[in-house]
A and B are shown apart, each in its own frame.
Chain A
């Protein structure tokens, strides 16, 4: 997010920036279903639909909460550097259509819908760690609680005027801390409470559709241009374009980094590695892309690709079931991107703050550490508490039988694929589709 460069109070609405930002908002919206495919392909056949739905439901829940009070909490007038509030924004009830976002050239309505898409995506990211085993109602409640107690305040810390990280000068262009570290740490907190999948480390849990994973990764990459470049809220000074370029560069480099590590370590270039590498690069450049040069972005990408590839193996060593590597990719990638700003910031991008390699000393690095570990600790602890409350009351997990048989059937009364050659299952006679019934009655008349 753009730091509050207080432009002379008077700005004018820019139709170009407004159009650009509306398109960016739609791009960021696409990331949530893209994420659903990315995750959905990685689970087994029997829990594909549940994985898709865990992301998709966020589009419903968080959208409504954002309108009711989320935007007000995240971006309203600061209270104690912790949370915002603005009663005019509750229900978006008193916002003029041409009222501009303070200091920028786009209407408040455009800013709030762009930010809405971030709020939707962030809880969805957590779901990858919880594959195959969480009750859908418990997950829906978790999203609502987590958005309220964790995401809205943390977004305020990082991007809201008066938030502590924002005032400290922590650089987070598009959400390395507020989105990725936040979601990754939350994922870790929740899985420590709810435990492992039945059969973790014993049963084979191969991805059921790598083409789906690649499709999801590709769409995420595409949507991420809106996420990253749009976070400058306009492109009057070229910084948004720099971010766009760096997003592409770091992601490409991260694909190479992950694949190289994998080839050396495991002997093959895998599609899952390429897709995961892309996401790790996107995550790492998210906070950093406005501060580094394209060569710096290559460094950030390669480092993220290699270290995330190493990090995804940790769950087997430490025995926690981060099912689809939300911790290994989003938490680790987010930390890397945020901290590397302290080394690679050129001072010629979004601000004149330079990192260690550009003569700026370690000042910025320490600020980045404060942002990273503040968000990490808060999100980890509060998410674990929320999960514990739900786990002890309504229960977070489906029964073992349901989990083994497949959560799709237990929670959604559907299955993702029809494998029976003959069309699968006889229709119940009570459920003859209306148009068939009609056609048959006509035949009788004739």
Chain B
């Protein structure tokens, strides 16, 4: 199995969710995140004092998939997340040893 993680612009969440559903993904986890890449941050001014805000809001989407689906799913996520502008984010995958469905105790791909 693979864990696909995408850290992307918050307003792309709905497109990505729809694309994943169309692909046949049954579940995912979304968390709010903040960070920066090449985009860096932006500057805010309060009563003349400038503040560099270098962490910008992102969402982090995590999906567990079977090995064979991983590459294709990454493509789906990337396509749905892309706006073509700087700050679109990153998608990556890592191998996963095991997964358990808490309710039934099923293990491995059956738990997905």
Q: Which of A186-240 contact B (CB under 8 A)?
A: 204, 206-207
In the complex, are the beta carbons of B45 and A270 less than 8 A apart? yes
Set of chain B residues within 8 Å of A276, measured between Cβ atoms:
47
**Shortest beta-carbon distance, B87 to chain A, in Å?**
21
In the complex, residue of chain A having the shortest beta-carbon distance to the beta carbon of B52:
A204
B44 at the interface (CB under 8 A from A): yes
A359 at the interface (CB under 8 A from B): no
**Shortest beta-carbon distance, A77 to chain B, in Å?**
45
A266 at the interface (CB under 8 A from B): yes
**Shortest beta-carbon distance, A277 to chain B, in Å?**
11
A313 at the interface (CB under 8 A from B): yes
In the complex, are the beta carbons of B47 and A273 less than 8 A apart? yes
B84 at the interface (CB under 8 A from A): no
B49 at the interface (CB under 8 A from A): yes
Set of chain A residues within 8 Å of B51, measured between Cβ atoms:
204, 206
- Complex CA–CA separation, A270 to B45 (angstroms): 8
In the complex, residue of chain B having the shortest beta-carbon distance to the beta carbon of A316:
B49
In the complex, residue of chain B having the shortest beta-carbon distance to the beta carbon of A267:
B45
Set of chain A residues within 8 Å of B50, measured between Cβ atoms:
266
- Complex CA–CA separation, A266 to B19 (angstroms): 43
Set of chain B residues within 8 Å of A262, measured between Cβ atoms:
45, 48
In the complex, are the beta carbons of B49 and A272 less than 8 A apart? no
**Shortest beta-carbon distance, A305 to chain B, in Å?**
13
Name the contact of B48 in the complex, choosing from A204, A206, A207, A265 (C-beta under 8 A). Answer: A265
Q: Which of A20-47 contact B (CB under 8 A)?
A: none
In the complex, are the beta carbons of B49 and A270 less than 8 A apart? no
Provide the A63-74 mask, 1 if CB < 8 A to any CB of B, else 0.
000000000000
- Complex CA–CA separation, A206 to B45 (angstroms): 9
In the complex, are the beta carbons of A312 and B44 less than 8 A apart? no
A325 at the interface (CB under 8 A from B): yes
**Shortest beta-carbon distance, B12 to chain A, in Å?**
23
Q: Which of B31-60 contact A (CB under 8 A)?
A: 44-51
**Shortest beta-carbon distance, A129 to chain B, in Å?**
14
In the complex, residue of chain B having the shortest beta-carbon distance to the beta carbon of A42:
B46
A309 at the interface (CB under 8 A from B): yes
In the complex, are the beta carbons of A325 and B47 less than 8 A apart? yes
**Shortest beta-carbon distance, B52 to chain A, in Å?**
8
- Complex CA–CA separation, A206 to B46 (angstroms): 7
**Shortest beta-carbon distance, A329 to chain B, in Å?**
10
Provide the A257-275 mask, 1 if CB < 8 A to any CB of B, else 0.
0000010011110101100
**Shortest beta-carbon distance, A325 to chain B, in Å?**
6
In the complex, are the beta carbons of A207 and B49 less than 8 A apart? no
Set of chain A residues within 8 Å of B47, measured between Cβ atoms:
270, 272-273, 276, 309, 312-313, 325
In the complex, residue of chain B having the shortest beta-carbon distance to the beta carbon of A270:
B45
**Shortest beta-carbon distance, B51 to chain A, in Å?**
5
**Shortest beta-carbon distance, A60 to chain B, in Å?**
31
Set of chain B residues within 8 Å of A312, measured between Cβ atoms:
47-48
**Shortest beta-carbon distance, A331 to chain B, in Å?**
15
**10 closest Cβ contacts across the A-B interface?**
A313-B48, A266-B45, A312-B47, A204-B51, A272-B46, A206-B51, A272-B47, A206-B46, A266-B48, A207-B46
Contacts A/B (CB < 8 Å), 26 sampled:
A206-B44, A206-B46, A206-B51, A207-B46, A262-B45, A262-B48, A265-B48, A266-B45, A266-B48, A266-B50, A267-B45, A270-B45, A270-B46, A270-B47, A272-B46, A272-B47, A273-B47, A276-B47, A309-B47, A309-B48, A312-B47, A312-B48, A313-B47, A313-B48, A313-B49, A316-B49
Residues of A within 8 A of B (CB): 204, 206-207, 262, 265-268, 270, 272-273, 276, 309, 312-313, 316, 325
Query: Other CB < 8 Å A-B pairs besides A206-B46, A262-B45, A272-B47, 10 of them?
Result: A204-B51, A266-B45, A266-B48, A267-B45, A270-B46, A309-B47, A309-B48, A312-B48, A313-B47, A313-B48
